[in-house]
Amino acid sequence: MKERFLVTGGARLQGTVQVSGAKNSVLKLMAAALLAEGVTTIHNCPEIDDVALMRAVLEGLGCEVFIRGTSVYIKTPAELRSDADFDAVRQFRASVCVLGPLTARCGRAKVALPGGDAIGSRPLDMHQSGLEKMGATTRIHHGCVVAEAEKLTGAEIRLDFPSVGATENILTAAVLAEGVTRLDNAAREPEIVDLCEMLNEMGAKIEGAGSNVLTITGVSKLHPTTHKVVGDRIVAGTWAYAAAMTRGDLTVVGVPPKLLHLPLEKLKSAGAEVDAYETGFRVQMRKRPVAVDHQTLPYPGFPTDLQPMAIGLAAVSEGFSVITENVFESRFRFVDEMQRLGADATVDGHHVSVRGVEQLSSTAVWSSDIRAGAGLVLAALCADGVTEVHDVFHIDRGYPHFVSLLNSVGAKVERV
Numbered residues of the known binding site for phosphoenolpyruvate: 23-24
Active site residue 117: yes
In order, the DSSP letters of 114-170 are P----S-----HHHHHHHHHTT-EEEEETTEEEEE-S--B--EEE-SS--HHHHHHH
Which residue type is seen at 390?
H
Burial class (CB in 10 A: 0-12, 13-18, 19+), 2: exposed
Which residue type is seen at 404?
S
Catalytic residue among 117, 194, 232, 369: 117
Give, in order, the Cα–Cα distances in Å from 89 to each of 70, 78, 194. Answer: 22, 22, 23
Range list of β-strands (E), 304-385: 320-324, 344-348, 351-355, 360-361, 364-366, 383-384
SS3 content of the chain, % helix, strand, coil (to 5): 35, 30, 35
Dmax of the chain from CA atoms?
A: 63
Strand partners, 104: none
Q: Residue 190, SS3?
A: helix
> Binding site for UDP-N-acetyl-alpha-D-glucosamine, residues?
93, 305, 327
| Strand-strand pairing, 383-384 and 360-361 | parallel
- Cα separation of 117 and 214, whole Å? 28
Closest among 274, 267, 279, 156 to 216, alpha carbons compared: 156
Q: Residue 77, SS3?
A: coil
- Cα separation of 101 and 170, whole Å? 9
Q: Let me know: does 21 contact 45? Beta carbons within 8 Å.
A: yes
Which residue type is seen at 98?
V
- Cα separation of 335 and 307, whole Å? 11
- Cα separation of 268 and 272, whole Å? 5
> Binding site, residues?
23-24, 93, 305, 327
User: Active-site residues: which are they?
Assistant: 117
